[in-house]
Chains A and B, each alone.
With several copies, the nearest count.
Chain A
Amino acid sequence: MKSLVITQALLEQHKLSEDEYKKILEILGREPNWTELGMFSAMWSEHCSYKSSRIHLKKLPTTGPRVVQGPGENAGAVDIGDGLCAVFKMESHNHPSFIEPYQGAATGVGGILRDIFTMGARPIALLNSLRFGGLDNANTRHLLKGVVSGIAGYGNCMGVPTVGGEIVFNDIYALNPLVNVFCLGIARKDKIFLGKAAGVGNPVIYFGSKTGRDGIHGATMASDSFDEEAAQKRPTVQVGDPFTEKLLLEACLELMSGDCLVGIQDMGAAGLTSSACEMASREGTGVELELADVPRREPGMTPYEIMLSESQERMLMVAKAGREGEVIKICRKWDLDVAVIGRVTDTGKVVLKENGHIVAEIPAKALADDGPRYDRPSSPPAYQEMLQALNHDTLPDVKDANAALLALLDSPTIASKRWVYEQYDHMVRTNTMVRPGSDAAVLRVKGTNKALALSVDCNGRYCLLNPYEGAKIAIAECARNLACSGAEPIGVTDCLNFGNPQRPEVMWQFVLAIEGLKDACEALKVPIVSGNVSLYNETNDLSIYPTPMIGMVGLIEEADRTATQWFKQAGDVIVLLGRTREDLGGTEYLKVLHHREQGSPPLLNLEDEQAVQACTIRLIREGLVQSAHDCSDGGLAVALAECCVSGTDGRVGAVVELQLDGLRRDALLFGESQSRIVLSVKQEQVEKVLEVAMNAGVRASRIGTVGGSRLVIRVNGDQRAAGCTIDLDVTTVHERWALAIPRALGQD
């Protein structure tokens, strides 16, 4: 091994601290060479080692009767009965998407898909959570278009439907957009594959695309903040090849249907380095690889480059000794590069050779598991109190409620996302019962009577104002979206997007958010089975809002017992479940109409939440409701408007009468009190519905009737002349809501 002079600059370039370097010296008992330094740098990056978050993530509830695989593997798995598991995970591709939106988002989709099918699951659904700056910014429009077509380009080509997601626009994300993708697959419970290098002597096989010089050190980049200089650097971008990934998917599933595989893992962040050391570390074995046998796209690649390349669409697997032939045959059938590149050993080490000469030798566990771990200091930001202080007396109540409602519907965060999801194939595989456009997507599970409901949610502004409550609400809202389709939540995945953990205020947000997730999951009895942490989301010293994105999976026992959010039939009665309070803090109303992002987020009582959800699920299962929609951004008025205009088969009006009961008008109409669901119910079933709710301890009020061509919301019986009543033609309401995003994009 060549010796190397380790300089301060070299360490900085590899983002290793002096202490971390000392630890490396201890582990190796000598100086690392260039390749080894690179491997430590990648594996000990924040992205791969979770060094700032690990001690906190331990607090999350990860067990439950349905959990088949918790965190630690490529994805989590929960039992859905019939011998099947739902396998799912969410992941971020924020930094790459900022550099090159199309390829960044596309390769994000590629990565999460591989996480799912390496587990032996066929992916059946994708969702995405996106955060951008305001659409009045040309670069944001460019990013949005690029990201959406990148997600579409990859997912559509793979034949995996993108069935839902969410998008929020806020200037805080302008220079640090978030691109989080969620994928769910179905596997047989007894055929789940894990990433382990078991069986000394077994062959280690590389397959997929060839290795090129793409994205070397992507993992380290994802663990870095951005500044103008970094934007200039523009490291080699990874280009996705969904066609090859589709072949990889089919080849994997074909390989897995036999019994020749022992373990398998995709080469994601930190490429061959992470897959090799993690597979060995999980099993307590070692691996020895011959780098000359790694299929390569470019001549002259060094061991350093081969080990750290993040070329896409590659896999590493361990097969049973003597079964190499079968494996190779299947890979060739699918036109994939394949090569036996090494063996499993009992040394506990990752040993790399180049034409027989050792070029690196590191204990696998040291790389994969013994990375640094920090309990970073945390303290609330100085501005926190100021943020939370919101004196309602300084806010004039709403005067023109019509205009306020239209302004909210025109806010891209609230507006219809049809422009986005029409670019996604959301129907391929013919499982999609409820398409994007309702609270949750619903997919039947072929071969069973069941269906799964999926939703992703997070309100970053709530999390900024109160990280604990905000995180709780993210879980509650996600579950509520599932409840509106009649599904009981069975598992959670998360993607925790935060700023720079070396800032105590960011750590404070992180620690509190974890507490919130924990309490909410425990109350709703739903485990977190997989997840991802994305830190250093800051640009020019400005951190994003803490954004712990939540993806949740719900089970519907009988596929035909589900509901959608829009009103169905004139004459149906509108019933509101839950209680409206004076919750104006952190609302979209406050932002859009008063240009303030301030106050305390709405109060969430987990017991009330649980009761409302259980009640809704029961009502849907008993076939007692025509539609169910939760109140979220924009409050009750926006929820009612959406019920009127979001239907797939046209629009319908409604007449609603509300009582102030001592509330402000704006709080009543646009406040974002939690644990509220708008139902529509056939006339003859209203009594029954109210009775079920009463028995469940849930407040239920009859607030109006579906029908006509106008949305009318009267407060305390007031008339239009008073200027407070909402009275709008549904065509106007629809136009404002449906075309807001295309309108905002039309500025180009």
Chain B
Amino acid sequence: MKAKIHVTLKQGILDPQGKAIEHALDSLGFQNAGNVRVGKYMEVDVNETDRAKADAQVKQMCEKLLANTVIEEYRYELG
């Protein structure tokens, strides 16, 4: 099964990258682009046919390693 995982900064946490990109877009002439937020997108193959088990594992991976839950949140789809 393939897990598609999105890790993004929690609401209210400063996103320096997003800020810099927004600024760059602006000076490139995309004045109507705003509110840029940057996160990570990961794909992981999970060698597991049982959906519930795979789900539990991906959740654990996120909690333990893929997301820094102090400042980030995550969501994923299994497919």
Contact = CB atoms under 8 A, between A and B. Distances in A.
A–B interface present (Cβ within 8 A): yes
Interface of A: 99-100, 102-103, 209, 212-214, 234, 236-241, 243-244, 297-298, 311-312, 335, 748
Contact of A212 (B12, B68, B70, B71): B12
A640 to B, nearest CB: 37
B23 interface: yes
B52 interface: no
B49 to A, nearest CB: 23
A558 to B, nearest CB: 43
A297 B15 CA distance: 11
28 contacts: A99-B70, A100-B68, A100-B70, A209-B14, A212-B12, A212-B14, A213-B12, A236-B13, A237-B13, A237-B70, A237-B71, A239-B13, A239-B15, A239-B16, A239-B71, A240-B16, A241-B16, A241-B19, A243-B20, A244-B16, A244-B19, A297-B14, A298-B12, A311-B14, A312-B14, A335-B23, A748-B24, A748-B27
Interface in B14-30: 14-16, 19-20, 23-24, 27
Contacts of B20: 243
Nearest to B70: A100
Contact of B14 (A99, A100, A234, A241): A241
A639 B13 CA distance: 47
Contacts of A212: 12, 14
Contacts, number: 40
Contacts of A335: 23
A297 B19 CA distance: 11
A297 B11 CA distance: 12
B27 A214 contact: no
A260 to B, nearest CB: 26
Contact of B16 (A100, A237, A243, A748): A243
Name A's interface SS.
Answer: loop
Interface residues of B, number: 13
A738 B76 CA distance: 42
A147 to B, nearest CB: 14
Interface of B: 12-16, 19-20, 23-24, 27, 68, 70-71
Nearest to B14: A239
Contacts of B13: 214, 236-237, 239
Contacts of A240: 16
Given A244-B16, A298-B12, A311-B14, A100 B71 contact: yes
Contacts of B27: 748
A142 to B, nearest CB: 10
Which A-B residue pairs are the 3 nearest by beta carbons? A241-B16, A239-B14, A100-B70
A234 B70 CA distance: 7
Given A234-B70, A241-B14, A243-B16, 4 more contacts: A212-B12, A214-B14, A236-B13, A311-B14
Nearest to B69: A234
Give the residue among B13, B14, B70 with the most A Cβ atoms within 10 A.
B14
A164 B24 CA distance: 29
A299 to B, nearest CB: 11
B18 to A, nearest CB: 11
B71 to A, nearest CB: 5
A746 B16 CA distance: 18
A576 B15 CA distance: 53
A103 B14 CA distance: 11
Nearest to B24: A748
Contacts of A214: 12-14
A677 B23 CA distance: 45
A211 to B, nearest CB: 10
A311 B19 CA distance: 15
A126 B54 CA distance: 46
B54 to A, nearest CB: 24
Contacts of A243: 16, 20
Contacts of B19: 241, 244
Nearest to B23: A335
A234 B72 CA distance: 13
B44 to A, nearest CB: 17
B40 to A, nearest CB: 15
B37 to A, nearest CB: 12
Contacts of A237: 13, 70-71
B19 to A, nearest CB: 7
Give the residue among B12, B23, B27, B71 with the most A Cβ atoms within 10 A.
B71
A494 B73 CA distance: 38
A237 to B, nearest CB: 5
A212 B27 CA distance: 24
Contacts of A102: 68
A651 to B, nearest CB: 31
A99 B27 CA distance: 24
Nearest to A240: B16
A515 B47 CA distance: 63
Nearest to A103: B71
Nearest to A102: B68
A715 B16 CA distance: 51
Nearest to B12: A213
A154 B12 CA distance: 21
Contacts of A298: 12
A335 B16 CA distance: 13
Contacts of B14: 209, 212, 214, 238-239, 241, 297, 311-312
Nearest to B28: A748
Contacts of B16: 239-241, 243-244
A137 to B, nearest CB: 15
A212 B68 CA distance: 20
A335 B20 CA distance: 10
A283 to B, nearest CB: 32
Nearest to B16: A241
A100 B70 CA distance: 7
B8 to A, nearest CB: 13
Given A241-B19, A748-B24, A748-B27, A236 B68 contact: no
Contacts of A241: 14, 16, 19
